[in-house]
Chains A and B, each alone.
Chain A
Amino acid sequence: MAVQFPGQIDQKQAGLTYQQENKPSFLSRLWQWLSTAYAGMFFFFLYAPIIVLIVFSFNASRFPTNWTGFTFDWYVQLFSNRLIGLALKNTLIVAITSTIISTIIGTMIAVAVERYRFRRKMAVNALLLMPIIIPDIAMAIMLLAFFVLIKIPLGLPSIIIAHVAFTISFVAIIVRARMASIGFTLEEAAGDLYANEWQAFWQVTFPLLLPGIIGGALFAFTLSLDDYVITNFVSGPSSTTLPIRIAGMIRRNITPEINAVSTLMLLVSMIFIPISLRLQRRANMD
Chain B
Amino acid sequence: MKRLISVMFVLVIAVSLTSCGSSAPKVLNFYTWSEYIDPEIYTMFEEETGIQVVEDTFGNNEVLLAKLQSGATGYDVIVPSDYMVDVLVKLDLVGELDHSLIPNIGNLDPAFTNLPFDPNMGHCLPYFWGATGIGFNWNDWDEAPNSWAYIFDPELAKEFEGKISLLDDMREVFGAALIYLGYSPSTTSETELAEARDLVIGVLPYIHTFESETYEDFLLTGETALAHGWSGEFLKAQLEDENIDFIIPKEGSLMWVDNICITKDAAADPARAKMAHQWLDFLNRPDIAAINTNFVWYASPNKAAESGISQEILDYPAIYPDEETISRLTMAVNVGDFTETWSRMWTEVKAGK
In the complex, B70 has a CB within 8 A of chain A = yes
Q: Decide: B57 and A248 in contact? CB cutoff 8 A.
A: yes
Tell whether B268 is near chain A: CB-to-CB under 8 Å. Answer: no
Question: Given the known A-B contacts A63-B221, A96-B12, are A253 and B1 also in contact in the complex, defined by CB atoms under 8 Å?
Answer: no
Q: Does B243 contact A (CB under 8 A)?
A: no
Determine whether the beta carbon of B1 is less than 8 Å from that of A283.
yes
A93 to B13, CA, bound (A): 10
Chain A residues within 8 Å of B4, by CB = 279, 282
* Nearest CB of B to A210, in Å: 8
**What A residues does B35 contact at CB under 8 A?**
252-253
Using a CB-CB cutoff of 8 Å, which residues 264-286 of chain A contact chain B?
A: 279, 282-283, 286
Contact A155 B74 (CB under 8 A): yes
Q: Known contacts A92-B15, A93-B16, A96-B15: does B1 contact A154 (CB below 8 Å)?
A: no
Tally B residues with Cβ within 8 Å of A.
27
| B214-A254 in contact (CB<8A) | yes
User: Looking at the complex, which one of B1, B16, B27 makes contact with A96 (CB distance below 8 Å)?
Assistant: B16
Quick check: is A183 within 8 A (CB to CB) of the other chain?
Answer: no
Task: Tell me if A65 counts as interface (CB < 8 A to partner B).
Answer: yes
**8 Å CB interface, B105-119 against A:** none
Quick check: B15 and A252 within 8 Å, CB to CB?
no
Nearest chain A CB to B93 CB, angstrom units: 14
**Which chain B residues lie closer than 8 Å to A236 at the CB level?**
72-74
Of the candidates B16, B56, B73, B220, the one having the most CB atoms from chain A within 10 angstroms of its own CB is B56
Interface residue? A129 (CB, 8 A): no
Residues in B with CB closer than 8 Å to A286 are 1
B32 CB → nearest A CB, Å: 11
Interface of A, secondary structure class, is: helix
- Nearest CB of chain A from residue B213's CB, rounded to whole Å: 4
Whether A100 is near chain B, meaning CB under 8 Å from some CB there, is yes
Chain B residue at minimal CB-CB distance from A244? B56
Contact string, B11-28, partner A, CB cutoff 8 A, digits 1/0? Answer: 010011001000000010
**Knowing A63-B217, A251-B213, A251-B214 touch, does A237 contact B12 (C-beta < 8 A)?**
no
Contacts of A238 on B, CB cut-off 8 Å?
Answer: 27, 29, 54, 74
The answer to whether A89 touches B19, judged by C-beta atoms less than 8 angstroms apart, is: yes
> Of the candidates A93, A237, A253, A283, which one forms a contact with B56 in the assembled complex, judged by CB atoms under 8 Å apart?
A237
Nearest 10 A-B pairs (CB), nearest first?
Answer: A237-B74, A252-B34, A237-B29, A252-B213, A236-B74, A148-B71, A286-B1, A63-B221, A237-B75, A65-B221
Q: In residues 189-220 of chain B, which contact A (Cβ within 8 Å)?
A: 213-214, 217, 220
- What is the bound-complex CA distance between A89 and B15, given in angstroms? 9
User: Which of B4, B29, B57, B221 has most A Cβ within 10 Å?
Assistant: B221
Q: Is A97 an interface residue (CB 8 A)?
A: yes
In the bound assembly, the distance between CA atoms of A252 and B34 in angstroms comes to 6
A277 CB to nearest B CB, Å: 14
- The residues of B that contact A251 with a CB separation of less than 8 Å are 34, 59, 213-214
B28-60 with Cβ < 8 A to chain A: 29, 31, 34-35, 54-57, 59
Q: Once bound together, how far apart are the Cα atoms of A237 and B272, in whole Å?
A: 14
The residue of chain A having its C-beta at the shortest distance from the C-beta of B24 within the complex is A238
Per-residue CB contact flags for chain A residues 243-260 toward chain B (1 = under 8 Å, else 0) read 000001001111000000
Tell me if A147 counts as interface (CB < 8 A to partner B): yes
Q: How far is the CB of B63 from chain A (nearest CB, A)?
A: 11
In the assembled complex, the Cα of A283 lies from the Cα of B8 at a distance in Å of 14
**Nearest neighbor of B27 in chain A, beta-carbon distance:** A238
Q: What are 9 A-B contacts defined by CB distance under 8 Å?
A: A93-B15, A100-B12, A153-B73, A154-B74, A236-B74, A237-B29, A237-B74, A251-B34, A251-B214
Whether, in the assembled complex, A144 has its beta carbon less than 8 Å from a beta carbon of chain B, the answer is: yes
> Which residues of A pack against B, CB within 8 Å?
63, 65, 83, 86, 89, 92-93, 96-97, 100, 144, 147-148, 151, 153-155, 236-238, 240, 248, 251-254, 279, 282-283, 286
Whether the pair A237, B1 counts as a contact (CB closer than 8 A) is no
A155 to B75, CA, bound (A): 12
- The distance in angstroms between the C-alpha atoms of A237 and B28, with both chains bound, is 10
CA separation between A275 and B34, bound complex, in Å? 40
B residues in contact with A237, CB < 8 Å: 29, 31, 54, 56, 72, 74-75
In the complex, what residue of chain A is closest to B18 when comparing beta carbons?
Answer: A89
Question: A279: which B residues are within 8 A, CB to CB?
Answer: 4
Q: Which residues of B contact A153 (CB under 8 A)?
A: 71, 73-74
* CB neighbours of B12 from chain A (8 A): 96, 100
Shortest CB-to-CB span from B314 to chain A, Å, is 27
User: A90's closest neighbor in chain B, by CB?
Assistant: B19
Task: Write the chain B residue with the least CB distance to A86.
Answer: B54
Whole-angstrom distance between the alpha carbons of A154 and B220 in the complex? 38
> In the complex, what distance in Å separates the CA atom of A237 from the CA atom of B58?
12
Chain B 280-322 interface 0/1 with A at a Cβ cutoff of 8 Å (1 = within): 0000000000000000000000000000000000000000000
Minimum distance in angstroms from A92 CB to a CB of chain B? 7
Write out the residue numbers on chain A whose beta carbons fall within 8 Å of the beta carbon of B217.
Answer: 63, 254
Q: How far is the CA of A286 from the CA of B3 in the complex (A)?
A: 13
A233 and chain B: residue at smallest CB distance: B70
In the complex the two chains form, what is the Cα distance from A65 to B222 in whole Å? 10
Counting chain A CB atoms within 10 Å of each CB, the highest count among B1, B71, B75, B217 belongs to B71
